[in-house]
Amino acid sequence: MECKVCSEEFVALRNDAMYCSNKCKQRKKNSDNRQRYFSQYCRSCGIEIFTNDRRVSYCSLECRVISKIKRG
């Protein structure tokens, strides 16, 4: 079979194997995670932040605390 990451030929123990090693499997997983990042703006200071978690609203703990103080 041919590895989906490095294109190296390998002998697979299973018919559905896609990667030649755990290293290639992790490399694929990590590259998929990087593609899931999106940008949004800090709710306190307005600078652009890049995150893969949609729950993140602030660029730092400081901005989060300032926003909480403003809300009272």
Residue 34 has a pLDDT of: 62
Residues 59 and 44 in one domain: yes
Place of tokens 């694929």: 28
Can you give the residue range of the structural domain that contains 23? 1-36
Reading the chain (72 residues) residue by residue, the pLDDT tens digits are 999 999 999 999 889 999 999 999 999 888 776 667 788 999 999 999 988 888 899 999 999 999 999 887
Number of domains in the chain: 2
Residue 37 has a pLDDT of: 77
Residues 13 and 32 in one domain: yes
Residues 50 and 29 in one domain: no
Phi, psi dihedrals of residue 39, rounded to the nearest 5°: -105, 150
CA neighbor of 40 nearest in space, from 23, 18, 59: 59
Residue 51 has a pLDDT of: 86
In angstroms, the CA 31 to CA 47 distance is 26
Place of tokens 């290639």: 24
Residues 45 and 31 in one domain: no
Residues 14 and 27 in one domain: yes
